[in-house]
């Protein structure tokens, strides 16, 4: 491992060890105090590195900063680079990253006591990182490479440009925001006027080579089922078991349209959580599709099932509320092909094979694009995210940094 890679590793581990798990049940911005604490420390760090205009906005919990143009005589669009500070809803307390240098392609023991192994038999992507420095969990927590790897890339990229003024570039804005993992909530509050970029990229794309400009349309259905609890010995024709009616609703949806049976452009219904008793049940469903018309069909089918079950009950006992989460960024980005071409060219110059496939999820860029800031998603290197088998390699983060440098250098050659 060379000096630069060690520098990247040290920075990533420093970030990863901090618990910044977000909380969907919280109504604050950010949703957890740890995110604010992390972001304020990050502000001190990037100020010391020479980033300018470092500003933490308490209204949206975003940290923004500037790397000024060093070719001020040219009229160059301002590019932004964005990462999120929160981690997913999985144990993030006392994260202890493990470092495997010069990975040999075999099994990696995460936790011997628990018998947890990261194996290429189960995770074949490991075959692509033989020889890399791999960072994993110890089997008890997630790693948080989603999106601490993205933060590491942006900070190290900015540090490099500041220390190498001979590299020509226009004005660059960077941002680090909260609560991406809870329905991209943070991006909905991001003050784009204050940010001041003309276009941007999120560094949150996971596997090496990812270049995303298309994602799901996403809605959430919050269902309430009001039952009637009666002593089971006298329940005939009077008990309404909310638990069973919830099961009826879940099984009324197409069995082949669930996450574990779909891929590519196939959408799904996903019962993500339920809680309740005989007399009251709450269910929460994700509805997903890449096609707007198919999403409307899914929504209509869901509504039909609720209406049918209420008719069977004989009264309206099942109610629901549909929450819009995010839309497909391609609706916006199809009008800004040069933004994607700029990234694609940077990949090519760094011998990174672009993996361009519709994202089976969402990202802050989906929200930001529809707010008026065209924002595709670039790879961070995080793999197997949101759980104990998460890993990232230092070489992948290093490649991400190289891509960002090339984008910054070449913005002046790309514009509408």
* Residue 146, annotated as binding a ligand: yes
* Residue 7, annotated as binding a ligand: no
Asked if 86 is an active-site residue, the reply is yes
The two tokens of residue 319 are 């109610």
Asked if 341 is an active-site residue, the reply is no
Residue range 167-222, pLDDT digits in tens = 999 999 999 999 999 988 999 999 999 999 999 999 998 899 999 999 999 999 99
From its phi and psi, is residue 281 left (phi > 0), alpha (psi between -120 and 50) or beta? beta
pLDDT string in tens for the chain (416-residue length)? 899 999 999 999 999 999 999 999 999 999 999 999 999 999 999 999 999 999 999 999 999 999 999 998 788 999 999 999 999 999 999 999 999 999 999 999 999 999 999 999 999 999 999 999 999 999 999 999 999 999 999 999 999 999 999 999 999 999 999 999 998 899 999 999 999 999 999 999 889 999 999 999 999 999 999 999 999 999 999 999 999 999 999 999 999 999 999 999 999 999 999 999 999 999 999 999 999 999 999 999 999 999 999 999 999 999 999 999 999 999 999 999 999 999 999 999 999 999 998 999 889 999 999 999 999 999 999 999 999 999 999 999 999 999 999 999 999 988 65
- The one catalytic residue among 60, 86, 179, 289: 86
Considering only the top CATH level, what class is 3-214+328-413?
alpha beta
- The one catalytic residue among 180, 327, 345, 390: 180
Residue in this structure with the two tokens 């990261």, named with its chain if needed: 118
* Residue 386, annotated as binding a ligand: yes
* Residue 23, annotated as binding a ligand: no
The structural domains of the chain, with segments of one domain joined by +, span 3-214+328-413, 219-326
pTM, two decimal places: 0.91
Residue range 104-119, pLDDT digits in tens = 999 999 999 999 999 9
* Residue 159, annotated as binding a ligand: no
CATH 3.40.50.2300 fits 219-326, yes or no: no
């Amino acid at each position: 491992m060379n000096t630069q890679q060690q520098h990247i590793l040290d920075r990533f581990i420093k970030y990863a060890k901090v618990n910044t798990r977000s909380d969907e049940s919280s109504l604050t911005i950010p949703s957890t105090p740890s995110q604010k604490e992390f972001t304020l420390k990050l502000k001190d760090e990037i100020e010391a590195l020479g980033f300018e205009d470092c500003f933490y906005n308490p209204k949206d919990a975003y940290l923004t900063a500037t790397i000024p143009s060093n070719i001020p005589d040219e009229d160059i669009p301002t590019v932004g680079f964005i990462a999120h500070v929160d981690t997913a809803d999985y144990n993030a307390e006392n994260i202890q990253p493990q470092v495997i240098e010069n990975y040999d392609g075999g099994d990696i023991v995460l936790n011997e006591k628990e018998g947890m192994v990261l194996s290429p038999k189960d995770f074949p992507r490991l075959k692509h990182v033989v020889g890399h420095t791999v960072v994993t969990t110890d089997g008890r927590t997630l790693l948080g490479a989603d999106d601490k790897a993205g933060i590491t890339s942006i900070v190290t990229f900015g540090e490099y440009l500041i220390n190498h003024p001979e590299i020509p570039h226009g004005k660059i804005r960077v941002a680090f925001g909260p609560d991406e993992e809870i329905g991209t909530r943070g991006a909905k509050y991001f003050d784009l006027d204050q940010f001041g970029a003309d276009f941007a990229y999120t560094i949150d794309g996971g596997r090496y080579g990812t270049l995303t400009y298309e994602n799901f349309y996403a809605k959430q259905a919050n269902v309430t089922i009001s039952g009637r609890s009666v002593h089971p010995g006298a329940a005939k024709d009077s008990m309404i078991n909310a638990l069973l009616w919830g099961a009826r609703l879940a099984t009324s949806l197409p069995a082949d349209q669930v996450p574990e049976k779909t891929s590519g452009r196939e959408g799904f219904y996903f019962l993500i959580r339920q809680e309740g008793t005989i007399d009251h049940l709450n269910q929460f469903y994700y509805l997903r599709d890449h096609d707007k018309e198919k999403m409307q069909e899914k929504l209509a089918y869901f509504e039909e099932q609720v209406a049918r079950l209420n008719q069977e009950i004989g009264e309206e006992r099942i109610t629901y509320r549909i929450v819009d989460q995010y839309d497909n960024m391609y609706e916006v980005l199809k009008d800004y092909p040069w933004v994607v071409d700029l990234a694609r060219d940077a990949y090519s110059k760094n011998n990174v094979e672009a993996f361009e496939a519709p994202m089976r999820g969402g990202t802050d860029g989906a929200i930001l694009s529809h707010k008026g800031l065209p924002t595709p998603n670039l790879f961070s290197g995080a793999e197997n995210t949101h759980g104990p088998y998460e890993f990232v390699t230092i070489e992948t983060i290093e490649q991400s940094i190289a891509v960002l440098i090339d984008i910054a250098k070449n913005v002046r050659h790309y514009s509408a």
